[in-house]
A and B are shown apart, each in its own frame.
Chain A
Amino acid sequence: MALLQISEPGMSAAPHEHKLAVGIDLGTTNSLVATVRSGLSHVLGDEHGHTLLPSVVHYAENGVVVVGTEAQKKQNSDPHNTIVSVKRFMGRGLKDIDTTQLPYHFAEQAGMLQIETRAGIKSPVEVSAEILKVLKARAEEALGGELIGAVITVPAYFDDAQRQATKDAARLAGLNVFRLLNEPTAAAVAYGLDNASEGVYVIYDLGGGTFDVSILQLSKGVFEVLATNGDSALGGDDFDHRIYCWILETAKLSPRNAHDTRLLMSKSREAKEWLTAHAETQISCLMSDGEFVNLTISCEQFTALTANLVQKTLSPIRKAMRDAGLSIENIDGVVMVGGATRMPQIQQVVAEYFKQTPLTNLDPDKVVALGAAIQANVLAGNKSDDELLLLDVIPLSLGLETFGGLAEKVIHRNSTLPVARAQEFTTYKDGQTAMSIHVVQGERELVSDCRSLARFDLRGIPPMVAGAARIRVTFTVDADGLLSVSAREISSNVEAHIAVKPSYGLSEDEITNMLKASFNSAEADKSARMLTEARVSAGAIISAVNAALEADSALINKDQVSAIQDEIKRLAAICTTDDTDAIHAGVETLNHATEEFAAVRMNASVSRALAGKALDEIKL
């Protein structure tokens, strides 16, 4: 006899056609799978009732792949073949990773790093797929059928390569990915539905390996991401590492081999977890060289050791708050996500910063998976009305290069997806028939400081005077974050377009650094922009005056011609300097010097137009 779940009114599935869908939190430290049954989202446990699956994969000697707690036990005895925190390697190259602290044998291959194990060379995608396979099997057993799809969560700052790697891992595990969902957004979904609350929320997600902060606006069942920020290299693991370093220092240990490192790291983690609810803990373990370590660490010591790690989370919060244009008073609630937020020192600092007690009523380890399951349930079609429409944002501004190497932003950072924006540009030179469109990403004013995404040419523009062509450039970013750019000359309908993946190959660090650089160099960027703009306008007037001289120099006498030519030379000379004000002054002088010439030309062209025509032919 099959077991039935309660459906929404009118949404009962036909026999054998239940739309089974799950949400998966593929975490750095632990992974979870959750589903919605009879309208309630809950995390699925294994046969022992354990819901957290340690994200550890062990390649055993007999060729068996072990995942989870059993694999974790091999961490100390067989570190080279036991892969932990593989999420940190997803979509990354060797150059992105600090390999000095890691016990693995790495191999670089086609952009993404690989790990040598006894089962052969494994990519992070394959390792992650092993974790997903276990979760899939668990879900299918618990739900009694095949899954039609899954929502998998990723950190908000995952770039395209990392997202793609996650999708590949799912495909390798035989999962159909409905959608990748940002972890903080998933957490908001879980809380938003459970509490049916409206307002502006901050999601503080300190996971095992990453820190993300997101500011979300909840209203009428719609979540809008106002801003996201984070630190890709900060997580609960770093707190373990602080204790680990403290042990090395306090016990005056020499550098350890891989086995001892693992052992001390897991002892450090145990100590951290114990200190969440206790005043002190004892760390004792036997090193491989026979040395015995026996130390006691108190909660105060631990808080002091990690104070700067906790403080480090505040800077991304400030940036996100600034991006969203909000102050502390606007925040209606702070949601804590990730096991590391159980640490009392973190809850305290967050409470002090936001002047309110953070929300912790859902299990911080499960909240992301619960939200993902709710979203998966909607996407599977088990809800009659789309109560939830999730809006994501683009992490960095998208724009194009304009004359003089300036970046013109078309879609600004934190615009909600999907989005389409168009802007009109024009030609710079008379008779220009082609235009090169250079698509860039970043917050800086100069193209050289931004990341180049794509280039394409719009050809076949009919020859016109400079500034007469109207080229409409449209940027479109779809719900999956895929950018396409099209350019069209309006009078002739000539068109060209290109599809680009906006954040391809951009590491989280690069994004963070690019953002940081744009804040630090705002002033320098502004003056660089003004200087370039002044040069461009000077260049434009010089070439206009030259063209006019070529055509109509006969209208004025030689002295006047040479006076104008002198002014052009003078301005051209000023343009080579970095003096913005002098360039502006030079442009003014040239304008002034050509006033008479311009008047004469105007008269001449009017009389040309009127010559030989009867009065009634002239339309006034």
Chain B
Amino acid sequence: MAITLTQTAANRVETFLANRGKGLGLRLGVKTTGCSGMAYTLEFVDSLNEEDTMFESNGVKIIVDPKSLVYIDGTELDFTKEGLNEGFKFINPNVKDECGCGESFTV
């Protein structure tokens, strides 16, 4: 399994990284918090940890820690627009249930 980015998401990440001027890639993760137990995190990466796993998709490096990986392996990250809002969306095959807003989930 792996973590992937859609082409649109990859383009956006590249733009954001270039604007920021530094950063190795994108870190995807989960936190045990939120109304349905787990919440996604999405962060720039400045330094790697020893146990991190690195993927590459559409030219962007994706970094995941082993604890998070079990919950999100197989996830595709997309970038979409909904009305005036726009942002990244996790398409995670492991998810069984989400809270109404989709910010947290259970596996």
Interface of A toward B, CB cutoff 8 Å: 1-12, 14-16, 37-40, 44-47, 138, 141-144, 194, 196
Contact = CB atoms under 8 A, between A and B. Distances in A.
Nearest to A11: B43
A13 to B, nearest CB: 9
Given A14-B39, A15-B39, A40-B15, A9 B46 contact: yes
A16 B102 CA distance: 10
B103 A8 contact: no
Contact of A40 (B19, B27, B83): B19
A12 B35 contact: no
Contacts of A194: 19
Contacts of A45: 84
B51 interface: no
A3 B89 contact: yes
27 contacts: A1-B89, A1-B90, A2-B101, A2-B103, A3-B80, A3-B89, A4-B40, A5-B42, A6-B42, A6-B43, A9-B46, A14-B31, A14-B39, A15-B35, A15-B101, A16-B35, A37-B86, A37-B87, A38-B13, A39-B19, A39-B20, A40-B19, A40-B20, A47-B84, A141-B84, A142-B86, A194-B19
A16 B34 CA distance: 8
Interface in B10-63: 12-13, 15-16, 19-21, 26-27, 29, 31, 33-35, 39-47
A196 B21 CA distance: 9
A38 B29 CA distance: 16
Contact of B16 (A10, A40, A196): A40
Q: Which 4 A-B pairs have the closest CB atoms?
A: A3-B87, A1-B102, A15-B103, A142-B84
Contacts of B99: 15
Contact of A9 (B12, B27, B31, B39): B27
Interface residues of B, number: 39
A483 to B, nearest CB: 39
Given A138-B84, A142-B85, A6 B90 contact: no
Contacts of B47: 9
B43 to A, nearest CB: 5
B83 A141 contact: yes
Contacts of B88: 3-6, 38
B98 to A, nearest CB: 7
Interface of B: 12-13, 15-16, 19-21, 26-27, 29, 31, 33-35, 39-47, 80, 82-90, 98-99, 101-104
A35 to B, nearest CB: 11
B85 A6 contact: no
A423 B32 CA distance: 57
Contacts of A142: 83-86
Contacts of A8: 43-44
A76 to B, nearest CB: 30
A14 B104 CA distance: 9
A39 B44 contact: yes
Nearest to B29: A12
Contacts of B90: 1, 4
A44 B19 contact: no
Contacts of B16: 6, 38-40
Given A5-B42, A7-B41, 11 more contacts: A1-B98, A3-B85, A5-B87, A5-B88, A7-B43, A14-B33, A38-B12, A44-B84, A141-B83, A142-B83, A144-B82
Contact of B44 (A9, A141, A144): A9
Contacts of A1: 89-90, 98, 102
A6 B44 contact: yes
A16 B21 CA distance: 29
Nearest to A16: B103
B41 A12 contact: yes
Nearest to B41: A12
B52 to A, nearest CB: 12
A382 to B, nearest CB: 11
Given A7-B41, A16-B101, A141 B19 contact: no
